[in-house]
Amino acid sequence: MNGNLTQPLGIGFPYIATLPADLYRPGLIDFVEITPETICRQRGTGTTAEIEIIPSQMNLARQTCGGLPIVVHGVELSIGSAHNWNDAYLKMLDEFQASWSFVWHSEHLGFQTIAGDDNSTLEIGVPLPLPATKEAIEVVASRSAAILERYRVPFLLENPAHYFSDFPSDPEIGGDIGLMRGVTEKSGCHILLDLHNLHCNAVNHGFDPFMAIDRMPLSRVMEIHIAGGSWRDGFWMDAHDGRVPGRVWELLEYALPLTPNTAGVVFELLDEHAVRLGAKAIEEELRRAREIWNLHWSN
Amino acid sequence: MALIDFQTALGRLVRVPDDKNPLRGLNLDTGERLYIEALKENAGFRFSVSIQRSWSIGRAAKSAHLTLSILPDNERRRLLDEWINSGAGTQSFYHAEADSFLDFIMGRLINPSHAHTVCQLEQATLRSSNGTNYFAAPDLFRLNSLECLLGRGRYAGLVRFYAEPGRLLDSLQKHEPIPPLSPEVMTMLFAPGLDQLFRPASIDEVNLWDRLDTPVAVGALLGEGHQQETFEILLNVGAVEYTT
């Protein structure tokens, strides 16, 4: 149900409808990471909201991806919201899986909704990190286990980038890594190790990202993200707006040999920056990722 | 600190930083309250708020792109600030908030004005295109009941132009001076059942639309001189709908 993959997928890239379809070709890309919300619309708001797949967008995505395998990378679940997670997202994902199967799916370890004064669901407007507490582990682990049971494919949680320097934690959990370790151990889910998020946190909070990797439950890592970012107001921001910084390439070279169950590396890019960056630059980043990937697998 | 109380406090502070009482109803002791208060002074918190604000403004701006483009910079900024300060702009699916944001803007624009027209146009386009996914022509048999209530179609709109529409939209696209307000009004009907979603509205249709600002019984409408044929035409394209 949630075991490791027997066959690594290779190098992946997000589905971005505004990019030329010929970018999604075998040889350059081995698999496609789809954020299903990008081909959906929401009907209604609050507790009555439904997330509907737009058939024409789904068809276009399938046509573009051709026969490439896909993985799902969701953004709307809010798995760590104590009051409730986003049931509408899961209903949509049920429908998605019934029509287009995915090898695994992933979400962000955080929360983005709270309960309103009338107990409705309020969107915060930005994802926020979880405190490293036993209660947070319980909430996320029980939901992750339920998701594994529901979809019967591996479920991965992504380490978030965040900008808070002083966040509550239980001493026995420690920090972000302890939180991730607790959730994976309790639920059986895997890790999507976002190296750019790790880089952001290392730059903004002043720690060594290589040492942080050493402390992670590395056998649980199944996917790695690399991405670009930029400076804003004195913070290195997880903007997904360009090429991968040199430090993140170094982290990839360091992490791959330590994570034997990594089945794919994805170069993440937001759609609003993809056209500006251009197909040529994207292909260069994908080729560089493949070189590192091939080197790792040849060893 | 209970997870739900911590998240509620933090979420409220990020959504509406000026919230006068963000800790209302939460089960926090003095130390926890002091921690949350101190968090507001944290540079990382302030940066997270600035990202939230920037994303929320971006989402709102996308949902009313054309309308905002016709407004002077200071007015555009004022409307966006007012909208975001109320805690809006947070929906990832920004289309879900677009209709309310356009309503919010429309209520603050001079009527008549080209800005008001463009706002009506953007809302009517949004509604009618959205409606193509859900609209099905209803059974006209129900019109035989004089008690049957009719209302404006939820996926429809009526737009009043105070200049030739093509000329107005062309000047907006090319960032050229917009034409002066004309005393002659051209009225366009938007509905999901129309070819290309819009067409000029007849006088009878405009009169019926204006009358239906709240639902009215078929018998009362007929008594006022509205025509059964107009009801049928507008029901068939989704410009009017049964409300019971």
- Asked if residues A256 and A290 have their Cβ atoms less than 8 Å apart, the reply is no
Average the pLDDT over each of A73-87, A263-277, B39-53, B84-98 and give the range with the smallest value. B84-98
Contacts of A40 in chain B (CB under 8 A): 93
pLDDT at residue A46, as a whole number? 66
Average the pLDDT over each of A117-121, A195-199, A225-229, B175-179 and give the range with the smallest value. A117-121
| Band of pLDDT at residue A1, cut at 50, 70 and 90 | very low
Query: What whole-number percentage of chain B has pLDDT above 70?
Result: 100
Torsion sign over Cα A132, A133, A138, A143: negative
- Asked if residues B239 and B205 have their Cβ atoms less than 8 Å apart, the reply is yes
A111 Cβ under 8 Å from any chain B Cβ: yes
Cα radius of gyration (chain B): 23
**pLDDT tens, residue by residue, A84-107:** 999 999 999 999 999 999 999 999
Query: Helix or strand or coil: residue B11?
Result: helix
The token duo for B22 is 């963000």
The token duo for A132 is 């490293």
Q: Domain B120-244 is in which class?
A: alpha beta
What one-character DSSP code corresponds to residue A87?
H
B202: closest CA of chain A, how far (Å)? 32
Q: Do A114 and B52 touch (CB under 8 A)?
A: no
- Asked if residues A76 and A96 have their Cβ atoms less than 8 Å apart, the reply is no
Q: Residue B63: name the closest of B43, B80, B87 by CA.
A: B80
**CA angle centred on B17, ends A200 and A109, rounded to 5°:** 40
Q: What are phi and psi of B190, to 5 degrees?
A: -115, 130
| Band of pLDDT at residue A4, cut at 50, 70 and 90 | low
More confidently predicted of A144 and B91 = A144
Q: Do B15 and A125 touch (CB under 8 A)?
A: yes
Q: For residue A93, give every residue at least 6 positions away whose Cβ sits within 8 Å of its Cβ, in sequence order, or none.
A: A36, A72, A74, A105, A151
What is the reported pTM? 0.90
Q: Residue A248: name the closest of A202, A291, A181 by CA.
A: A202
pLDDT at residue B127, as a whole number? 94
A204 Cβ under 8 Å from any chain B Cβ: yes
What ipTM did this prediction achieve?
0.94
pLDDT at residue B91, as a whole number? 87
Mean pLDDT of A233-250: 96
Best mutation target, B14, B47, B95, B132, to test chain A (most A CBs within 10 A): B47
More confidently predicted of B22 and B94 = B22
Mean pLDDT of A146-156: 97
Residue A98 CB neighbour total at 10 angstroms: 8
Contacts of B25 in chain A (CB under 8 A): 117
Set out the domains of chain A in order of their start, with CATH numbers. Answer: 10-298 (3.20.20.150)
Average the pLDDT over each of A26-35, A196-205, B29-38 and give the range with the smallest value. B29-38
Residue of chain B nearest A52, judged by CA positions: B133
More confidently predicted of B86 and B94 = B86
Mean pLDDT of A243-249: 98
pLDDT at residue A16, as a whole number? 96
Note if the bond before B112 is cis, omega within 30 degrees.
yes
Whether residue B62 has pLDDT greater than 50: yes
Query: For all residues of chain B together, what is the average pLDDT?
Result: 94
Whether residue A3 has pLDDT greater than 80: no
Whether residue A5 has pLDDT greater than 70: no
Q: Do A82 and B55 touch (CB under 8 A)?
A: no
The token duo for B129 is 């295109």
Cα A212 to Cα A123, A165, A251, B107, distances in angstroms? 31, 16, 11, 53
Return left, alpha or beta for B202; rule: phi > 0 is left, psi -120 to 50 is alpha, else beta: beta
Residue of chain B nearest A38, judged by CA positions: B93
- Asked if residues A219 and A260 have their Cβ atoms less than 8 Å apart, the reply is yes
Q: Residue A237: name the closest of A262, A273, A266 by CA.
A: A273
Contacts of A42 in chain B (CB under 8 A): 91, 93, 95-96
- Asked if residues A150 and A99 have their Cβ atoms less than 8 Å apart, the reply is no
Torsion sign over Cα B70, B72, B75, B80: positive
Best mutation target, B5, B10, B101, to test chain A (most A CBs within 10 A): B10
Q: Do A124 and B56 touch (CB under 8 A)?
A: no
Strand-pair category, A40-43 with B198-200: unpaired
More confidently predicted of A115 and A165 = A115
**pLDDT tens, residue by residue, A170-204:** 999 999 999 999 999 999 999 999 999 999 999 99
Contacts of B15 in chain A (CB under 8 A): 114, 122, 124-125
Bridge partners, A43 (sequence order): A50
A127 Cβ under 8 Å from any chain B Cβ: no
pLDDT at residue A2, as a whole number? 44
The token duo for B63 is 């949902």
Residues in B whose CB is inside 8 Å of some CB of A read: 1-4, 6-8, 10-12, 14-15, 24-25, 35, 38-39, 42-45, 47-48, 50-52, 55-56, 59, 87, 89-93, 95-97
Whether residue A137 has pLDDT greater than 50: yes
Q: Which residue has the tokens 């059942």?
A: B193
| Band of pLDDT at residue B93, cut at 50, 70 and 90 | confident
Bridge partners, B160 (sequence order): B187
Query: For all residues of chain A together, what is the average pLDDT?
Result: 94
What one-character DSSP code corresponds to residue B239?
S
Q: Do B44 and A82 touch (CB under 8 A)?
A: no
Whether residue B97 has pLDDT greater than 80: yes
A273: closest CA of chain B, how far (Å)? 14
Under 8 Å CB pairs connecting chains A and B tally to 108
Calpha distance B209→B153 (Å, rounded): 9
Mean pLDDT of A51-76: 95
pLDDT at residue B95, as a whole number? 78
What type of residue sits at position A192? L
pLDDT at residue B87, as a whole number? 86
Query: Helix or strand or coil: residue B132?
Result: coil
Calpha distance B207→B231 (Å, rounded): 12
Strand-pair category, B216-217 with B149-152: antiparallel
Q: Do A82 and B95 touch (CB under 8 A)?
A: no
